[in-house]
Amino acid sequence: MHTLRQRYGGNLVHTYAGPTMVIVNPLSSPSMYSEKVTLRGRGDMSPHIYAVAQAAYRSMLMSRQDQAVVLLGSSGSGKTTNCQHLVQYLATIAGSTGKVFSAEKWQALYTILEAFGNSSTSMNGNATRFSQIISLDFDQAGQVASASVQTLLLEKLRVARRPANEATFNVFYYLLACSDTAPGAVASVPIAPHCSLQPEEKQKATQQFNKLQAAMKVMGISVDEQKAFWLVLGAIYHLGAAGATKAGRKQFARHEWAQKAAYLLGCGLEELSSSVFKHQPKGSLQRSTSFRQGPEDAGLGDGTGTCSGGTRCSGGGMAAGLYSELFTLLISLLNRALKSSQHSLCSVTVVDTPGAQNPALAGQSRGATFEELCHNYAQERLQLLFHQRTCAQELERYKEVAGGMARGGLPPLLSSPFLPSFLSRGVVPPQVRSLARTDEARGLLWLLEEEALQPGGTEDTLLERLFSYYGPQEGGHDPLLPSDKPRHFFLGHSSGTNWVEYDATGWLNHVKHNPASQNASVLLQESKIISSLFAGRAGSALVLSGSVAGLEGGSQLALRRATSMRKTFTTGVAAVKKKSLCIQIKLQVDALIDSIKKSKVHFVHCFLPKAEGAGGDPRGLPSRRVSGSELDLPAEHCEAGLMQLDVPLLRAQLRGSRLLDALRMYRQGYPDHMVFAEFRRRFDVLAPHLTKKHGRNYIVVDEKRVRAPRRGHRHGDAELGAAPADASPSRRRWKSCWSRWTWRRAATTWA
């Protein structure tokens, strides 16, 4: 760890050679993203998130190939912050045609996304609760011509149900703070008086709300459109206050609040009531959508701590559906502001997903929820992509091109992470299989769906089957371990370095199709007040509604991306129509991965420097269950600048990211001295001037380019890179070798 540490602008940033950068989230770093740093030239930048932006931009300009930057890491490790800096930096260095994409616009975009898609969780005070793909499309001159945002895996149920002591989306608090003071549209939204904010919270939320309104203005969202947002948010809020009861038939517990919700939505109370309660699955009276969970509410929960407490209400499905529709509308309005008719050639896509979730890391004793499982699943799939791109593919290429060249032999093939397939194995469209229970080992998502559809299926039968397939075996590296709490189990994420305890209580009910969620879109489209904003969205956009937002496609490239995403979903159209949540989740992650796969991918690993959990004793955390030797590590803490590092935690993250495996493979596959000595023995006849003149020389080979390091030295690409047609076999071989290999950084001593 010490050898990796490097001071940079008063902060800690770690980097490796190769297509990957590692960032240990610093706690404060105003100088790190200053204009001075922005203006630094190439080579000065590494290690810095701007260096990744530069590399992606240069690679795109040189190869005309789409690029993707994928950020990986735990929740709170700094992915979103770095994403924002990366996009801002790219837009700054590239410039835009006619200054359409000012820094102000990007700032506004992120302010809006943060308000509607972020919330405070136990791991991060401003955690992203959806996956986002931000694409910048560049024209022939390398300037930003247009841009687009696509979002998936929105944790929409957070408006109705969330872990104890966690908040709903930020925007609700902003609205709550301003409902009595703000002029115009906001004041027209009556807010239930029983929920209030502390004075300091209120002041902060008011400022944020003003910032949000200004940002919406910058993004061209009109006052009338803004009003529609406040109305729907107000309605969601009042639905929560209305609660639900079962007196004969299911109905609202407090009609006055339900009446207000109906008024804000522009529909009648009866209409709202039937949309919420009609065809609702049995036992689906869900917990409240109330905002704040006071200590007195906690007792009203189901004892598991997985739901927010408060009054009983079955408007959860409706509230989640309304929020999902609102979010989809928001993304399409943002895309309206980002699109342009300019012709674009290729793009840089930045992917940010909610980080790995582990309540124990935040000192919470509760089990992780189904939504947290979904975010962890997406992280696992991205990790798998990293493994495939960085290790498996590189190894194949090495075998193919350099087989037998390294005297040390080929590096061993690393086993791929196990969990992604464990989770989604067997999730296929229902039309090609029967829904009867099978004895075949299936993934967790499959089993969940199957048990939800089976009469008599419960969480206990689900876990029973899960353990019968994947339970602990002698000598095996089990990804699944039992817990002593009922309906709890452990999953070993990140190759068993991050053990997360899940609580499966209520999962079956959660994945059952809830028609109220579907009814939300009908209700909005038929609203007497706001239907115009929601009406036009039909057809294929509707099929993906609630899953992927931002498929309108403003530019040619955006259209292409949207088509490709839709294609991913077409294999599961029947499933989507069937509203199987598990299949939708798998398809969304598939769509995310497919959209990245077509590009050249740059990975950024963000690491959490320390965890708040387990009363400050990191050895008490389940995440420390790494291996026998790791368990014995002392809880060593290192001081670095102003920051205390939790070294065991960092080690576990490093191990889980498989970065060291990738590094070892690069090192073994392309050992500096060995390969270069061999390389030189075979091919130095092609560049004798380099070997003879320079003595100790430092050669940097990046992509297909070679350059001598000494300033002014002209033995560059022209001489080394271009083998004439009549070149000797060895020279042609050399060239082919050159064009197929990616030599990241090779330093050697030349005789």
Ligand X SMILES: Nc1ncnc2c1ncn2[C@@H]1O[C@H](COP(=O)(O)OP(=O)(O)OP(=O)(O)O)[C@@H](O)[C@H]1O
User: Whose Cβ is closer to ligand X: residue 551's or residue 654's?
Assistant: 654
What is the rounded CA–CA span in Å between residue 95 and residue 108? 17
Distance between alpha carbon 375 and the CA centroid of its chain, in Å? 7
Query: What gap in Å lies between CA 596 and CA 589, rounded to an integer?
Result: 11
Q: Residue 69 phi/psi, 5° resolution?
A: -110, 120
Q: Is 75 annotated as a binding residue?
A: yes
Nearer to ligand X, 81 or 306 (CB): 81
Distance CA 520, CA 274 (A): 11
The CB-of-163 to ligand X minimum distance in angstroms stands at 14
Nearest distance from residue 117's CB to ligand X, in Å? 9
Find the shortest distance in angstroms from Cβ 18 to ligand X.
21
Does the CA dihedral 714-717-720-722 come out positive or negative? negative
- Closest by CA to 147, choosing from 91, 216, 64, 65, is 91
Q: Where are the alpha helices (DSSP H) in 345-489?
A: 370-387, 393-402, 419-424, 444-453, 459-470
- Least distance CB 115 / ligand X (angstroms): 14
SS3 state at 368: strand
CB burial of residue 698 (10 Å; 0-12, 13-18, 19+): middle
179 is in an annotated binding site: no
Q: How far is the CB of 652 from ligand X (least distance, A)?
A: 16
CB 230 within 8 A of CB 327: no
Pairing of strands 131-138, 346-352: antiparallel
In angstroms, the CA 720 to CA 729 distance is 15
C-beta of 129: minimal distance to ligand X in Å? 8
By C-beta, is 75 or 143 nearer to ligand X? 75
Residue 136, classed as helix, strand or coil, is strand
Tokens of 21: 């950068």
Q: How many CB atoms lie within 10 A of CB 504?
A: 26
Select from 120, 93, 102 the least CA-distant residue to 174: 120
| Residue written as token pair 């509410």 | 297
**224 φ/ψ sector (left φ>0, alpha ψ -120 to 50, else beta):** alpha
Q: What SS3 string covers 27-60?
A: CCCHHHHCHHHHCCCCCCCCCCHHHHHHHHHHHH
Q: How far is CA 278 from the centre of its chain?
A: 35
Please state the closest distance from residue 577 (CB atom) to ligand X, in A. 32
Element (H, E) at 562: helix 556-570
Measured from the CB atom, the residue of 14 and 260 that comes closer to ligand X is 14
Q: Whole-number minimum distance, CB 124 to ligand X, in Å?
A: 4
The alpha carbon torsion through 233, 235, 238, 243 (nearest 10 deg) reads -110
Nearest approach, Cβ of residue 217 and ligand X (Å) = 25
Minimum Å gap between C-beta 716 and ligand X is 36
Our CB check for ligand X shows the closer of 600 and 605 to be 605
Q: Which of 102, 96, 94, 106 is nearest to 50 (CA)?
A: 94
Q: 315 or 613: whose CB is closer to ligand X?
A: 613
Using the minimum distance from each CB to ligand X, give the nearer residue, 111 or 128.
128
Does the annotation place 571 within a ligand binding site?
A: no
DSSP secondary structure letter of residue 389: I
Residue 32 or 195 having the CB closest to ligand X:
32
Nearest distance from C-beta of residue 305 to ligand X, angstroms? 20
Write out the residues near ligand X by the rule CB under 6 A.
25-26, 28-29, 73, 75-81, 124-128, 354-355, 606
* 199 phi/psi in degrees, rounded to 5: -55, -45
Q: Tell me the closest approach of the beta carbon of residue 11 to ligand X, in angstroms.
A: 7
Say whether 613 counts as a known binding-site residue.
no
282 is in an annotated binding site: no
Report the residue number, 86 or 533, with the smaller CB distance to ligand X: 86
Indicate the residue among 375 and 735 with the shorter CB distance to ligand X.
375
Closer residue to ligand X, CB minimum distance, 272 or 606: 606
Closest separation in Å from C-beta 118 to ligand X: 7
Q: Was 79 annotated as part of a binding site?
A: yes
Nearer to ligand X, 124 or 390 (CB): 124
- Nearest distance from residue 449's CB to ligand X, in Å? 27
SS3 readout for 619-666: HHCHHHCCCHHHHCCCCCEEEECCEEEEHHHHHHHHHHHCHHHHHHHH
Least spacing, CB of residue 84 vs ligand X, in Å: 8
Of 128 and 518, nearer to ligand X (C-beta) is 128
Token reading at 115: 């308000």
- Residue 39 class from Cβ within 10 Å (0-12 exposed, 13-18 middle, 19+ buried)? exposed
Is 227 annotated in some ligand binding site?
Answer: no
Half-sphere exposure of 563 (CA within 13 A, CB side): 7
Nearest to 602 by CA among 90, 9, 3: 90
Residue among 322, 315, 317 nearest 534 (CA): 322
Q: Which is nearer to ligand X, 10 or 281 (CB)?
A: 10
Distance CA 690, CA 706 (A): 12
What does the chain come to in residues? 751
Q: How far is CA 88 from CA 106, 572, 719, in A?
A: 7, 36, 38
**Is 74 marked as binding a ligand?**
yes
Q: For ligand X, give the closer residue by CB, 358 or 517.
A: 358
How many CB atoms neighbour CB 130 within 10 A?
Answer: 22
Where is the binding site for ATP, in residues?
Answer: 73-80
